[in-house]
Amino acid sequence: MNIKEITQGIYYAGVNDRVTQLFEGLWPLPFGVSYNSYIVRGADKVALIDTVRIDEVREFLANVDGAASDRKVDYLVVNHMEPDHSGSIPEVVRAFPGIKIIGNAQTVGMIKGFYHLDDDDLYIVVKDGDTIDLGGISLQFFLTPMVHWPETMMTYVAERKTLFSGDAFGCFGALNGGVVDSEMDTDRYFPEMYRYYSNIVGKYGRFVQKALEKLGALPMEYICSTHGPVWHERINEVVDLTAHLSAYKSEPGVTIVYGSMYGNTAEVAEEIARELCARGVRNIRVHNASVASMSEMISDAYRYEGLIVGSATYSMRMFPPVEQFMNAMETREVKGKVFAAFGSFTWAQGAVLKAIEGYSERMKMPIVASLAMKQSIDEQTRQAARELADKVADSLTLK
């Protein structure tokens, strides 16, 4: 049983998932993931904040029972409806007769759609800023749409300076015994926060910024996200990192993503990487798109200021894994990168660079340098690759 009193009257009741290999069916989970849920116990009422993925419902209900300490659970607050948090709603409703579900108007529509709980008497519909008193401790609701779905809201307990933030400030990585950051070494969770943010929430940066503006002035001692540690000692770092990522700000470094069928385009990537290193760039991440994890490529592309994309020509288009990567960049509206491109062709000169230029125009990320290689690398192409790297190095503003 995984129960922990976080602060007076607020308990952890979530679960770990070390079985699922792909989050959302897409994103690798080498360290697992936690689905966090919390109990808030007032003198009069008990509230459960969010549920967990249905696969872990048995352990979850035992945790809820334990954290509620044999009291009846009166309310279920649904901050977010993605099924990794809403999946156990029907089981909670069955387990606690008379429970009321607290959500906004969009939440209710989604619960009816996903779980067919159609009785209107089941719901308490809240608006932005509404408060519900539990007896000496109260819940205040803030609508934060698109962090990460349109119904998303956050719940604040002023008496404990605690924010239940939904997916915001979350990360991949199961919890290993500890729950609050002060009782563990959290360094390993930070790379997982880059990956989680860029993979899952990345498209919605402007909405994350709005939420930060809305909630930034609230005093906070604990941030209870739906994934990863409860933040207490490292709140400032986590908030700063989220502000940084949501504003599409970068760190010093360059990501190179290439696609190569027989190794010729790969040689150009290696030449560019060596020259960047010679120019003093210290964070260089080279990914062969055919075998690299899309999740890691997206995370690095978010993180570092330079982005260089190289592709063999494939049926007059970009090589498919590179095209898939560029689609992911465009979907997430990645912007502000020092962007360069290289392409190779056997007979279709110009096709692949034209395709990359299309992304550059749509994403409003001008190409600072490009090169096209015919068939295989020679000294002239090596020189062009070094010049491309030099132009990128010269254009970097973060050293």
| Chain contacts with ligand FEO (rule: CB under 6 A) | 80, 82, 84-85, 148, 167, 226-227
Question: In a 10 Å sphere around its CB, with 0-12 CB exposed, 13-18 middle and 19+ buried, how is residue 291 labelled?
Answer: exposed
Q: How far is the CB of 2 from ligand FEO (least distance, A)?
A: 18
DSSP string, 55-81: GGHHHHHHHHHHHHTTPPP-EEE-S--
Q: How far is the CB of 201 from ligand FEO (least distance, A)?
A: 8
Q: Which is nearer to ligand FEO, 212 or 372 (CB)?
A: 212
Q: With respect to ligand FEO, which residue has the nearer C-beta, 226 or 255?
A: 226
146: region left, alpha or beta (phi > 0 left; psi from -120 to 50 alpha) = left
How far apart are CB 224 and ligand FEO at their closest, in Å? Answer: 13
* Contact present, 258 and 265 (Cβ < 8 Å): yes
- Smallest distance from ligand FEO to CB 218, Å: 22
Report the nearest approach of ligand FEO to the CB of residue 226 (Å): 5
Indicate the residue among 165 and 381 with the shorter CB distance to ligand FEO: 165
Q: In 212-337, which ranges are E strands? A: 222-225, 251-259, 284-288, 304-314, 317-318
Structure tokens at 137: 């401790």
Query: Would you say 56 or 167 has its CB closer to ligand FEO?
Result: 167
> For residues 26 and 158, which CB has a smaller minimum distance to ligand FEO in the complex?
26
Q: Are 384 and 341 in contact (CB under 8 A)?
A: no
Least separation in angstroms between residue 10's CB and ligand FEO is 20
The residue among 82 and 271 lying less far from ligand FEO, judged by its C-beta, is 82
CA–CA separation, 254 and 165 (whole Å): 32
Residue (109 or 135) nearer to ligand FEO, CB: 109
As a whole number of angstroms, the distance between CA 384 and CA 390 comes to 10
Smallest distance, ligand FEO to C-beta of residue 375, A? 46
Tell me the C-alpha distance between 281 and 245, whole Å.
Answer: 21
- Give, in order, the Cα–Cα distances in Å from 60 to each of 50, 64, 68, 89, 91: 11, 6, 12, 11, 10
| Closest residue to ligand FEO in the complex (CB) | 82
User: Which CB sits closer to ligand FEO, 80 or 100?
Assistant: 80
Measured from the CB atom, is 106 or 138 closer to ligand FEO?
A: 106
Shortest spacing between CB 349 and ligand FEO, in angstroms: 44
Q: Over the range 215-253, which residues count as b (16 or more CB within 10 Å of their CB) and which as e?
A: beeeebebbbbbbbbbbbebbeebbebbeebbebebebb
Shortest separation between residue 108's beta carbon and ligand FEO, angstroms:
18
Angle between helices 205-215 and 235-246 (to 10 degrees): 140
Eight-state DSSP code of residue 116 = -
